């Protein structure tokens, strides 16, 4: 299998699994001229959020704002730990993040770095954001609320949001979408979801996509396994009608 040099590699939600990330990168073996991008949600749930943040920050890898980083920033938005925001963050795995730092204190340099993270990156033929876009809003009206949090409205779009760009996202664990099993990627109309649920006991797969060569690299954080697959074998097409049907059923319940 021949590969093009100077690869663009996009890494999904790491969620504090530093050792899994190191295993994944060992499989990818990035060269000095390869470009690595992170889709956000470096922190929470897993045991080594501090180490993940240090690694990405210190290597100056482009990284997007995820909803988990945004939840942490919400806790600190008023200069103090807002109780409702703190409870929401801790419930979503924030306690593991706190525990990963020495003396349970997140350094200001990490907090400052989180505030600099963009909500999207336009790479020309691909467009990176954490969760997706709202197909019913102009792009210039959208904020972190859409880019970091959206789910069904985005996954259920019936035509690509961009005519000439593939949107690559994380945020929604792929096996929560119709017809997808743990470890598979999910592909819809103009979008590709690569969050395969590294922290989740049903999966454990941390995924990176080599956009240049349409290759998927995966490391399982629980089983210490690695694998490389062509994108077409690793992904499942999502029917927008099934997303809308599942949403209607949830609303009736």
What tens digit of pLDDT does each residue of 190-236 get? 999 999 999 999 999 999 999 999 999 999 999 999 999 999 999 99
pLDDT bracket for residue 2 (50, 70, 90): low
> Which tokens sit at 54?
């240090």
**Tens digit of pLDDT for each residue in 111-131?**
999 999 999 999 999 999 999
pLDDT bracket for residue 246 (50, 70, 90): low
């Amino acid at each position: 299998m021949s590969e093009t040099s100077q690869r663009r590699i996009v890494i999904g939600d790491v969620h504090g699994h530093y050792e899994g990330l190191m295993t994944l990168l060992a499989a990818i073996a990035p060269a000095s001229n390869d470009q690595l991008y992170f889709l956000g949600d470096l922190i929470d749930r897993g045991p080594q959020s501090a180490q993940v943040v240090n690694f990405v920050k210190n290597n100056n890898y482009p990284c997007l704002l995820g909803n988990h980083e945004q939840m942490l920033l919400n806790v600190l938005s008023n200069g103090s730990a807002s109780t409702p925001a703190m409870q929401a963050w801790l419930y979503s795995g924030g306690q593991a993040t706190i525990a990963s730092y020495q003396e349970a204190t997140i350094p200001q340099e990490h907090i400052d770095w989180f505030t600099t993270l963009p909500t999207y990156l336009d790479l020309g033929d691909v467009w990176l954001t954490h969760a997706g876009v709202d197909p019913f809003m102009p792009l210039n009206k959208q904020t972190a609320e859409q880019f970091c949090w959206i789910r069904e409205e985005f996954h259920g779009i019936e035509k690509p949001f961009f005519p000439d760009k593939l949107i690559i996202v994380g945020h929604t664990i792929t096996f929560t979408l119709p017809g997808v099993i743990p470890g598979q990627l999910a592909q819809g109309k103009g979008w590709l979801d690569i969050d395969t649920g590294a922290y989740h006991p049903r999966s454990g797969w941390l995924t990176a996509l080599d956009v240049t060569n349409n290759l998927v690299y995966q490391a399982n954080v629980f089983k210490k396994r690695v694998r490389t697959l062509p994108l077409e074998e690793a992904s499942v097409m999502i029917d927008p009608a099934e997303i809308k049907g599942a949403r209607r059923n949830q609303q009736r319940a």
